[in-house]
Each structure stands twice: as structure tokens, then as C-alpha cells.
Structure 1
């Protein structure tokens, strides 16, 4: 989560404490609104180091694809 907090602080021009609060608020919101299997991945992404974030994000996106339904051209 530290990497994301630093990025948010930089991009938004806020302190790291404010960025941490923002990231935690968004994460809690997502965990509340998403189905449990996907919500669990939110915390995994935040806990992962930078090298693992890509893999965890891919897992979340795959889960969202199933949740949202896939649209096939035909």
C-alpha cells in the first residue's frame, strides 16, 4: 500500500497521511461493494509489493469480467 499512497500523495499534491486515508477509504468502499471473492483481492493488491501488484490487478480484472459479464461480438 505504501507505493500507492506515495503515488496518490504525489499526483494529488497532498500529504502521505491524507493519501493513506484516501486509499484506505476507497479500498473499504470497494470491499463493501464488490462480491466477496473480488473484495478479498483488493486487500491483496494493497498488501502486495510493487512487483506483485500487476499479477493481483490482473486477477481482480478477471474477476470483474465474470462479475460484469462478458460481451461477445457476434
Structure 2
């Protein structure tokens, strides 16, 4: 159930900060996640899925991978 909590947390944050409904926030989050998964290399897209599903990948791993792609370590 941890993944649902993570997704709900993200949706609540978007709704609150953007001043939109939960339904609108959920649609926005799904669009952004879909865009990122389509545009990023498969290993990073998989880490995004892992974070959203409550896995151990962590945002630090995603950020590190992105930094490596951009020439930073």
C-alpha cells in the first residue's frame, strides 16, 4: 500500500500548491509521469516507477542517474 500513499502524497501536494482539485492534480501527475517515462532512459524510468510504487530506489538514485547523464557525478 506504500506506493498508493506515495502517489496520494504527490497528488495532494500538486493539488495544494497549484490550487486545483484532486482529480485535476491526479490527471496532471499522470501526464507528467508518463512524459518522464517516455523521455528518460529505461533505467531511470524504472526508478521513477520504483519510487512511485514505494520501492527502495529512492529519489537520490534518480537524481544521481540524471546527474551522471548530465556529466556530473
- The TM-score bracket by the shorter chain reads 0.7 to 0.9
2:22 aligned with 1:16: yes
Q: How does 1:1-74 map to 2 (within 5 A)?
A: 1-48=7-54, 56-70=58-72
For these two proteins, the number of residue pairs brought into alignment is 67
Structure 1: 4+ residue segments shifted above 4 A = none
Normalising by structure 2, report the TM-score: 0.81
* TM superposition score normalised by structure 1: 0.80
Query: Which protein has greater RCO, CA pairs closer than 8 Å, 6+ apart?
Result: 2
CA RMSD of superposed structures (Å)? 1.8
> Which sections of structure 2, spanning at least 5 residues, go unmatched?
1-6
